[in-house]
Amino acid sequence: MDFIEKPYSDDALIAAIESALKTSAAEGRADDIATAAALINTLSPRERQVLEALVAGQPNKVIAFGLGISVRTVEVHRSRMMDRLGVHQFAEAVRLFVLASFAERT
């Protein structure tokens, strides 16, 4: 990250460490956002609609009525969506969706 010549002061060392940590955190966050966006882009249009509705807090019955499909079809789309995203809990899918939304903003 940085090159520090001897003799170095404690302040210079601390500043270099803080700078390195900030850069690593920002790069890690950018990687997470890019990965999430790539995973979300693997979803079919219908799976993405189901995910958006679920994130909005709609239950399966409301989603089914709104999309003109059966509740069982919503459940199938939800299951396939979870598989494609590689997650086991819905909260993980929400996290990916939120991270991917940051990629769309930039």
Token look-up 């990916």 returns: 96
pTM of the model: 0.71
Q: Tokens standing for 57? A: 């807090």
Q: How many CA atoms lie within 13 A of 40 on its CB side?
A: 24
* CB contact at 8 A, 83 and 91: no
Return the structure tokens found at 59: 């239950």
Phi-psi category of residue 19: left, alpha or beta, with phi > 0 → left and psi -120 to 50 → alpha: alpha
pLDDT, tens digit, 9 for 90 and up, residues 55-104: 999 999 999 999 999 999 999 999 999 999 999 999 999 989 988 887 77
